[in-house]
Structure 1
């Protein structure tokens, strides 16, 4: 029978639309203004912190909707932004520097809906407000770090191949290796030339030295790697710490743009982004004179560092392993219930650790925590000057040859061990970074953008709605139902996709898909009219209208979809936001305009003997 869907197909279409409507529902509940209190540098909020917050709010007669302690953070919801801002100021003044007090907007989704994965669409910085940072990567430090690594690698390679040398050290932009005789010089040059093809090697037979310099290609590669790796690490770090849907992308040769939608307080964000923690493993210099080193006479092959209590220890300059090789780090407890961090290394790191410890069993090894902090000054080249701070976490005796997995102790409290593991797991930055510009977009501006964008969508929808009813009568109402279903599906899918973020250009994409969706129905309805004018029966006209217009609709939408995918692939920021909603809108409009509208048409007019059609 013409134009009659089986029951299962009708139910399937209804189910898809209902599912989209279900997951679009959280957007109707809005968000509550809230204040989030979290600990800094390993400190966690506790039940005592919760009671303290309640006390401060009660003392100052500030009403709150709810207050909960979850995952070491206290979240307090308020009924209005006025109470939220007052509470933030009071808590910021009274909780001290151990805690970060941040403004946030928390979804008011009912528990039953949240339990099945329902959540409102994530809004971009231009709609929800938030903070934006422009960060600069210190490329000079990245190159210095690469040279330090090469010095260590040169020594290891020459030692493993039993090539004798006097010294390996940095001199300006070069690495200089001094040998004992001409034979060692030739063997060393042959070995290093074979293993380091991207270096320029020059020898001086008179002084028995080999000079290695990086080519411009190598320098460019180091800078590019430092930038790309820092972008990846920052993105991982922000995700690990629970900041929703950050935008992290490069800008120019040494800058990174970071946008954190929904975050109104920059203190916690700065701590996350400026943290450049890594660790190094060094042997303790048991032969050096510690007293002489404390008085300023540090041996040339050693350095003097202290632990958090100020206790000094003399360490070997040679680094056994750096944090670059860490692939995973988890906090836990040892057999004596002391906090520890379990570390896993990549294959290269495991090999270095194995080689470094096999001949040093029974000797003490120190774990050094390193952090770079910006000084606020700039060098002659305009790069930000960083201060390198080093602190000994633990000193332990090497009991056996270590490999790809081992543990470190002495991190302090469990919270500090957890924080260290998180930073190491998220990655050690290849080069130090500093915030050179920060911008806060207030929630008021974001709310205004949401309001205007919503008005644009409703205005476009309303005009199309009126036109379709006037011009196509009953079939116009069908098209409007399909149009409404399309809008619901777009919102539902955007809410379900974890990485999808709605921006102001994204709202423009929704407005565009409204017009595109109705365009498909116009093609179908005009074809039905044409078939009826040619004398075909109403049922044949409806059938031919949908069948004949289908290929045209597919062609038009596929070309637009390809363009949207290209925009998504090559675009950034607002362009990507537009491409996402446009792509989703194209797919949902094809479904609702062709399958959805035909389901309604078949249910109302299908299989009936009709003499007149309201179209």
Structure 2
């Protein structure tokens, strides 16, 4: 029996190595310190803005590697962090508060590699540096919002059913809604109507004062809290993506907490500004019946609320909310037929129905968009977190030209920049419940570099120790195992760079160190099996063939059980645990491939196909 390699095996192994080597190459190019500049409310990024920045950097003696306009944002790259910080100060002085300037790290991958989708490994916060926030979601605000929405829905349902009522009011302190009627017949009809709504209400009738008290069931309250948390996570991801922070982490922690990690961002103030930009929106009709001057003087109508625009202009709006921003699924800025800036809105089905019903009788009236944000105040909650203070501002009001549906335009904006900023705000979505930062940590890039250096040192020393042992103990066969070990590292780095969502963390580097030690286990099993076959009097070629065949079952058993553990860790773990699990899983699969397929290719190439009396083993 002569051991020879079929041509397809050469093609598979060489093809796999070349592919992973190609995708591992971007990791040889260090990232550039950069500024990521985007427009916030009131600003716009244009080619003129880019030229002004470039000239400002040049006048300040800052040699920027490049200042480019990409996807409505300016990316300025620098040679070192010192230039990056100097450029940040210059950008803030030039652009002011109408722009957000975030410190970041940008890959320096050559264009030809980027063209084929080759990018560096995504590094976690512990290796790249950045900021970490723990956010608390105000669940009480979510419940209050739900009750206010129910008030509007109940009024609409009662009108459609032709049921007369005196009032529908929300008691936020008690967490219930009170409906008052003049006649007992209307009371019974309303109770029957509300009881049909999926058993989500606890309804209490009071015949004495002709009222209904409606509260949410415990199950429905849990659903609202969970929905608020999940939607906030989605919207925060959209917000972070809007300003271009790469490889961010936004994930749930517990019942009402969200973890946000922004790798490469070193300015905590700017990072907080990114998060504080998350807010809610409301659409309301402008109240033209009440006296604006009297409202400003403090004599406010019971059916209206007083707001102010960005320039301080008072605006009187109806209490009824037509629509909230959580129904918006898309928004695009553009121009109308008169070349005036506009924002085209697209709603989900439920939002389209609400807007259609609300605007049916409001054609020709003005509708205002209210921007609402919550900021920490001086008072504290029972858990020690700051009480959030609600701040509201009218960002635009425009005339309703026709009955609106799922698609409509917001006009009357002051500039294209305002339209672009409003569209960006709406696209990213409105928070279901307000949030606040209760914990923050900053990991500097120097600490990240130190972690990488220590991790690489551990991998190198582990590799050196394994290489020396294999050379001394297995001689020429040890050299084959070492070649396979080097190929294994290339495969791991290549696959980590290729897999979307795979992030290398410090525990992940520990997984690679562990893989270096485990990678030769299969070779040890094979080589020892070959020695046993030779000791039993087998020929060299028989010993090689039987050694690989009989060792494979043991190799598969030991590695599959470890792979299952890695998959379980990845499924139930979070953060660092997942980082360790993914590198361990990839390392197991690549080590099996290099040991069973790769080393056999080399052994057959050097010692197969010939009649030998002994092996250098």
TM-score (norm 1): 0.94
Instruction: Classify the secondary structure of the residue corresponding to 1:516.
Output: helix
* Matches of 1:572 and 1:272, distance apart in 2: 24
Q: Quick check: 1:386 aligned with 2:389?
A: yes
**Cα contact 2:163–2:190 (8 A) shared by 1:** yes
* Matches of 1:216 and 1:341, distance apart in 2: 40
Shift of residue 538, structure 1, vs aligned partner: 1.4
Change (3 A) 1:149 1:576: same
Match of 1:332 among 331, 334, 342: 334
* Matches of 2:104 and 2:206, distance apart in 1: 64
Q: What residue number does 1:275 align with?
A: 277
Q: What residue number does 1:600 align with?
A: 602
Shift of residue 146, structure 1, vs aligned partner: 0.9
Q: What residue number does 2:374 align with?
A: 373
Q: What residue number does 2:149 align with?
A: 149
Q: What residue number does 1:564 align with?
A: 566
**Cα contact 1:36–1:75 (8 A) shared by 2:** yes
Query: Counterparts in 2 of 1:532-551, with a 5 A limit?
Result: 532-551=534-553
* Matches of 2:358 and 2:95, distance apart in 1: 46
* Matches of 1:307 and 1:116, distance apart in 2: 48
Change (3 A) 1:222 1:458: same
Match of 2:286 among 284, 287, 292: 284
Q: What residue number does 1:69 align with?
A: 69
Instruction: Classify the secondary structure of the residue corresponding to 1:439.
Output: strand
Q: What residue number does 2:258 align with?
A: 256
Instruction: Classify the secondary structure of the residue corresponding to 1:96.
Output: helix
* Matches of 2:494 and 2:381, distance apart in 1: 53
Shift of residue 334, structure 1, vs aligned partner: 2.1
* Matches of 1:248 and 1:532, distance apart in 2: 57
Q: What residue number does 2:97 align with?
A: 97
Shift of residue 363, structure 1, vs aligned partner: 3.9
* Matches of 1:561 and 1:413, distance apart in 2: 58
| 380-389 or 588-597, larger mean C-alpha shift | 380-389
* Matches of 1:185 and 1:266, distance apart in 2: 55
**Cα contact 1:538–1:611 (8 A) shared by 2:** yes
Shift of residue 73, structure 1, vs aligned partner: 3.3
Match of 2:409 among 404, 407, 411: 407
Shift of residue 270, structure 1, vs aligned partner: 2.0
Please list every run of 5 or more consecutive structure 1 residues that lacks an aligned counterpart in the other structure: none
Q: What residue number does 2:365 align with?
A: 364
CA RMSD of aligned residues (A): 2.2
Q: What residue number does 2:320 align with?
A: 318
Change (3 A) 1:102 1:368: closer
Change (3 A) 1:62 1:287: closer
* Matches of 2:454 and 2:566, distance apart in 1: 24
Query: Counterparts in 2 of 1:235-250, with a 5 A limit?
Result: 235-250=237-252
* Matches of 2:422 and 2:518, distance apart in 1: 52
Q: What residue number does 2:20 align with?
A: 20
* Matches of 1:100 and 1:285, distance apart in 2: 35
* Matches of 1:537 and 1:521, distance apart in 2: 20
* Matches of 2:40 and 2:318, distance apart in 1: 32
**Cα contact 1:20–1:492 (8 A) shared by 2:** yes
* Matches of 2:188 and 2:437, distance apart in 1: 47
Please list every run of 5 or more consecutive structure 2 residues that lacks an aligned counterpart in the other structure: none
**Cα contact 1:35–1:76 (8 A) shared by 2:** yes
* Matches of 2:516 and 2:168, distance apart in 1: 68
Instruction: Classify the secondary structure of the residue corresponding to 1:189.
Output: helix
Q: What residue number does 1:124 align with?
A: 124
Change (3 A) 1:516 1:439: same
**Cα contact 2:283–2:370 (8 A) shared by 1:** no
* Matches of 1:458 and 1:236, distance apart in 2: 40
**Cα contact 1:32–1:108 (8 A) shared by 2:** yes
